[in-house]
């Protein structure tokens, strides 16, 4: 299968490209330095040259707090930029797999969010990603899969477990919020699922995230425990952080779509992350 991966220099994009190579697909992998998805002419040219069967769009503005203060720049990438990739894919007769986020939800539910649940993003990042979903669906109405995932971590870039490991090695105590609950998702597990959806597509929106749920506090305690660190982890509150962007308090993802890939539990993802080596 001929695949084009955008955002291939990012944490998720690297794992998708690696998984595609291992699976024997014919791959074109383009990072931001090679392709700015905000440039429609460049995107169209890249897709024409690659002639892919499917395009996996991993390009995104992922700095949640940065999106709050630089909303125009972030929105251009996560909203219209996503639509540009989908339009070029559709024009080339390729399926598009687009990666979205749990942040499109308000976080007011207390049971897992399903694909049919109403959205209600609270941050500029979430609003931009929701705009991207709508742009993808409009640009490729019969040839798209939108994959919502959550709390991504991996070996291909900075991530929460790596931050906790560094801080826990240098400090005796860490305070981590316990009032945000979600599904930590190892990109090494998500990447093959995205490839599966490129090969055997499900049209529309699907939720694919690590199994189980936890708070950032719970996640941190497991990281510290598995790493054998002596650091104490104590619970904190989101309100005390003073972060620019609001976060959903509860963003656990479930699925009601038949055939949706199921990922291993987040504990397994963390163990695989640690076994693979922590990024510097």
Contact 128, 64 (CB under 8 A): no
| 61 closest CA partner among 70, 52, 51, 53 | 70
Distance, in Å, from the CA atom of 144 to the CA atom of 130, rounded to the nearest integer, reads 15
State yes or no: is 103 an active-site residue. Answer: no
Q: Please tell me what DSSP assigns to residue 39.
A: -
Distance, in Å, from the CA atom of 5 to the CA atom of 28, rounded to the nearest integer, reads 6
Q: How many C-beta atoms lie closer than 10 Å to residue 66's C-beta?
A: 16
Among positive and negative, which fits the CA dihedral 217, 218, 221, 226?
Answer: negative
What six digits make up the tokens of 48? 């024409």
Q: How many C-beta atoms lie closer than 10 Å to residue 251's C-beta?
A: 26
Q: Please tell me what DSSP assigns to residue 276.
A: H
Active-site residue among 103, 113, 125, 217?
125
| 176 closest CA partner among 192, 163, 191 | 163
Go through 174-206 and write b for each residue having 16 or more CB atoms within 10 A of its CB, e for each that does not.
bebbbebbbbbbbbbbbbbbbbbbbeebbeebb
Active site amino acids: 125
């Amino acid at each position: 299968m001929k695949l084009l991966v955008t955002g291939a220099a990012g944490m998720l994009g690297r794992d998708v490209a690696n998984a595609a190579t291992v699976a024997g697909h014919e791959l074109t992998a383009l990072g931001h330095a090679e392709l700015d998805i905000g440039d429609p002419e460049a995107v169209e040219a890249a897709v024409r040259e690659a002639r892919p069967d499917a395009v996996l769009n991993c390009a995104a503005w992922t700095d949640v707090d940065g999106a709050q203060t630089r909303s125009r720049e972030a929105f251009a990438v996560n909203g219209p930029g996503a639509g540009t990739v989908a339009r070029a894919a559709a024009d080339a007769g390729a399926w598009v797999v687009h990666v979205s986020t749990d942040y499109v939800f308000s976080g007011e539910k207390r049971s897992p969010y399903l694909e049919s649940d109403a959205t209600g993003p609270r941050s500029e990042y979430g609003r931009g990603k929701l705009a991207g979903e709508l742009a993808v669906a409009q640009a490729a109405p019969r040839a798209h899969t939108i994959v919502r995932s959550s709390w991504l971590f991996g070996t291909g870039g900075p991530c929460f477990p790596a931050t906790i490991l560094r801080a826990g090695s240098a400090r005796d105590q860490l305070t981590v919020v316990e009032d945000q609950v979600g599904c930590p998702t190892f990109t090494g597990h998500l990447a093959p699922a995205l490839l599966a959806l490129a090969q055997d597509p499900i049209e529309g929106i699907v939720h694919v995230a690590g199994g189980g749920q936890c708070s950032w506090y719970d996640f941190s305690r497991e990281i510290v425990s598995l790493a054998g660190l002596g650091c104490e982890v104590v619970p904190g509150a989101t309100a005390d952080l003073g972060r620019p962007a609001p976060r959903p308090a509860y963003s656990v993802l479930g699925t009601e779509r038949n055939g949706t890939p199921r990922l291993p539990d987040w504990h397994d993802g963390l163990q695989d992350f640690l076994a693979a080596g922590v990024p510097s």
